[in-house]
Amino acid sequence: MTLAEQFTALDNLLYATRQYWQCTAFDYDELPWTSLSAPLAQLSDNDVAKLDSDQDALYRFFSPLIEGVEQLPKLSALSAAQAKRTDYPFWISNGIKGRKFEQLQDFVAALGVPTEPVLEWCAGKGHLGRMLAYNKAPKVHSIELQQHLCEQGQHSAQQQGLAMKFSQADVLTDDVAHYFETQQHAVALHACGALHQSFMQQACSAQTQQISLSPCCYHLFTDDMYEAMSELAKCSKLNMRHRDLKLALQETVTAPSRVAKVRKTEVEWRLGFDAMRKEITGSTTYVSVPSVNKAVFSDSFKSFCAWAADKKALEIPQDIDYEYFLLKGQVRKKVTERIELVRHVFRRAIEVWLVLDRALYLQQQGYQVTVNTFCEKQLTPRNILIKARLPI
Ligand SMILES: C[S@@+](CC[C@H](N)C(=O)[O-])C[C@H]1O[C@@H](n2cnc3c(N)ncnc32)[C@H](O)[C@@H]1O
């Protein structure tokens, strides 16, 4: 299957099944799909959590229930890069946490031997660039917004005698086109949304020989309505919005149980407050309350409601029954989690759709393009690598 064929098949399937994922769980008091009510009601909270952390089990559970799901594993599949990790001296990995270092080792291995000068986009402290410089890339130029990260990166590179320089720049507002060259390998690891999109566009304009990127946070720094990059995706009827793009990021490595517990309380309290607000105001739509320091959720539901009411300019009557609304929140959370579970069946497919849009855009610009996974998803669920090269 070509990338274009894979994209078209995925696009058709996502369009046919959009009622299951193109929705906002908080909008519903009850499950919006009657055919799924019985099977979802049979799941305990523990079953929901287990299914949610195992994408293959999710596909198996929903294949007999939603037409088309049985095709998702094949259409979202990407082959692994199969490159062998190399070892580095301890001083290269200093200051890089375990999983991140393994992720970087796999990413660097999948890029192949660096023969061209490297442009490293949204570099942070330039860990990736330092590893490429250590692997004998002729030189590395790292671009980063935060001055202190540039300084720290430059300091490490100097101490380690690596051919690397940093430039501080805001890649969205500064003139950065001149950093791209033809004889260059432009790399971007986990540059968010518009940061990697403008990277791709500028690298193509400069006819940069090689472009490699692992995209993430597809919605960031972009308009709510998704603007497709490739001609094929421009013809799609999906009309993706931020809400849908965020779904692509929801395959996470399981959060530690303490974090999960706070998150559970947070969702229950937010939904309980929402039920209270609806009752007081007569409104029927969900209104979000801003994010807040998690410490708030170790206090009481009553104090959370006082804080939220202040944010929403709502007056809570003295005799309100907090227990009643807390219970409503707990019941609604069960509904929300089950809607989210159904949406999660499609999360990887949406990410692959977004990645293929980028890959097809690069093909359109004359590049030979491959799309692979570069590491296990336990190291990072954002494990997709797009590699593009101009034909010689
Ligand atoms: C998720 S981090 C990735 C860092 C590094 N590439 C890695 O994988 O370890 C994203 C980086 O992009 C930088 N960044 C965010 N907005 C930027 C902008 N407008 N211009 C340049 N860099 C930006 C951030 O400061 C951050 O260091």
Could you give all domains of the chain from N- to C-terminal order, each with its CATH number? 3-75+254-344 (no CATH), 90-250+347-389 (3.40.50.150)
Strands 210-216 and 185-192: parallel
Output the average pLDDT for the chain: 95
Tokens of 268: 């229950």
DSSP 41: H
Ligand 1 centroid to 190 CA: how many Å?
A: 8
Of 128, 132, 145, 221, the residue with max ligand 1 atoms within 8 A of its CB, to mutate for a pocket test, comes to 145
Whether 256 shows a pLDDT value over 80: the answer reads: no
Q: How far apart are CA 361 and CA 375, in angstroms?
A: 24
257 pLDDT higher than 90? no
Angle between helices 257-281 and 301-311 (to 10 degrees): 60
Q: What is the distance in angstroms between the CA of the first residue and the CA of the last residue of the chain? A: 24
Q: Edge-to-edge strands of the sheet including 384-389?
A: 164-168, 140-144, 118-121, 185-192, 210-216, 384-389, 368-373
Dump pLDDT digits (tens) for 81-97.
989 999 999 999 988 98
Amino acid present at 236:
S
Question: Which ligand 1 atom is the nearest neighbour of the CA of 126?
Answer: 5
Q: Exposed, middle or buried, 28 (CB in 10 Å: 0-12/13-18/19+)?
A: middle
Q: Which atom of ligand 1 is the closest one to the Cα of 124?
A: 27
Q: State the pLDDT at residue 392.
A: 82
Q: Using CA atoms, how far apart are residues 362 and 166, in angstroms rounded to an integer? A: 27
What does the pLDDT average to over 253-262? 71
Assign 255 a pLDDT band (cuts: 50, 70, 90): low
- For ligand 1, the distance from its centroid to the CA atom of residue 200, given in whole angstroms, is 15
Q: Residue 108 above 80 pLDDT?
A: yes
- Considering only CA atoms, which residue is closest to atom 26 of ligand 1? 124
pLDDT at position 251 over 80: no
Could you tell me where the DSSP H helices lie in the chain? 3-16, 34-41, 45-52, 55-62, 72-75, 90-93, 98-111, 127-134, 147-159, 193-205, 231-234, 242-247, 257-281, 301-311, 322-344, 347-364
Question: In angstroms, how far is CA 137 from the centroid of its own chain?
Answer: 29
Each residue's pLDDT tens digit, 158-210: 999 999 999 999 999 999 999 999 999 999 999 999 999 999 999 999 999 99
Ligand 1 binding pocket (C-beta < 6 A) is 122-124, 127-128, 144-146, 149, 170-172, 189-191, 195
Q: What does pTM read for this prediction?
A: 0.93
What percent of the chain lies above the pLDDT cut of 70? 99
Atom of ligand 1 nearest to the CA of 173: 19
User: Cβ distance 138 to 160 under 8 Å?
Assistant: no
